[in-house]
Amino acid sequence: MASASRQLLARCMSSSAAAKKIAIKHVTVIGGGLMGAGIAQVAAATGHTVVLVDQTDEILKKSSKAIEDSLKRVTKKMFADKPEAASQFIEKTLSNFSTSADPAAVVHSTDLVVEAIVENLEVKNELFKRLDKFAPEHTIFASNTSSLPITDIANSTTRQDRFGGLHFFNPVPMMKLVEVLFFLSSAGYVVSRSCC
């Protein structure tokens, strides 16, 4: 086994106890476009408290509508002959979901930030640099970038060991695959919760 793989395995195993103590309950998704809306939908549908953030309330209204429409499509398949169960699922999912145009105001209580804004390093760096000042120490930051190096984004923060890539695929509510990227220096619980 390569040395890097051994290190990773050891880290996963030694951190399992710590991982149990740090449950991801509150998720902030930044960027309410195609990917961010899908990520927020999936996170809310799986029982997380989710705040979706974008630049304006007008954009967020569109994102919320897109999520409601998508939930209707998904539940049609999931609960083909049970319209009541479908309505309950939608209601429960939406009750986990809210929006905000002020990321600094919402990250103070979040366990995980997933960024899905415009694919521009400067803009992503500016956002994460700001969030780094407001998010608690335990908060894990992740980017959904398609093409930018995660290290280049993480370097705008002071939490390189709690920073990774969570690369979802379009359409998010239909695609089960998610690529998880992290550094070998990542804090044990980040690695453990991501891959073990």
Provide CB contacts within 8 A for 179, sequence distance 6+: 165, 166, 167
Distance CA 139, CA 57 (A): 25
Task: Assess contact for 123 and 117: CB atoms under 8 A.
Answer: yes
* 32/188 with CB nearer ligand NAD: 32
- Among 144, 156, 157, 160, the residue binding ligand NAD under the rule CB under 6 A is 144
Q: Is 184 one of the binding residues for ligand NAD (CB under 6 A)?
A: no
Asked whether the beta carbons of 116 and 69 are under 8 A apart, the reply is no
Does 175 engage in binding with ligand NAD (CB under 6 A)? Answer: no
Shortest separation between residue 190's beta carbon and ligand NAD, angstroms: 20
CB of 151 to ligand NAD, least distance (A): 16
Beta strands in the chain (DSSP E): 26-30, 49-53, 97-100, 112-115, 140-143, 163-168, 178-182
User: What distance, in Å, lies between the first and last C-alpha atoms of the chain?
Assistant: 17
Q: Which of 162, 152, 153 is nearest to 116 (CA)?
A: 153
List the interface residues with ligand NAD, window 97-136 (CB under 6 A): 116-119, 123, 127
**Residue 97: both structure tokens together:** 């979901």
Binding segment for ligand NAD among 7-15, 92-100, 132-140, 142-150 (CB under 6 A)?
142-150
- What x/- string results for residues 18 through 57 when contact with ligand NAD is judged by CB under 6 A? ------------xxxxxxx----------------xxx--
- d(C-alpha 47, C-alpha 93), whole Å: 7
Between 91 and 119, whose beta carbon lies closer to ligand NAD? Answer: 119
Interaction of residue 59 with ligand NAD, rule CB under 6 A: yes
Task: Name the minimum Å distance from CB 63 to ligand NAD.
Answer: 7
The packing angle between helices 188-195 and 3-14, to 10°, is 90
Q: CB of 35: closest distance to ligand NAD in angstroms?
A: 3
Among 146, 151, 158, 185, binds ligand NAD (CB under 6 A): 146
Interaction site with ligand NAD (CB under 6 A): 30-36, 53-55, 59, 116-119, 123, 127, 144-146, 170
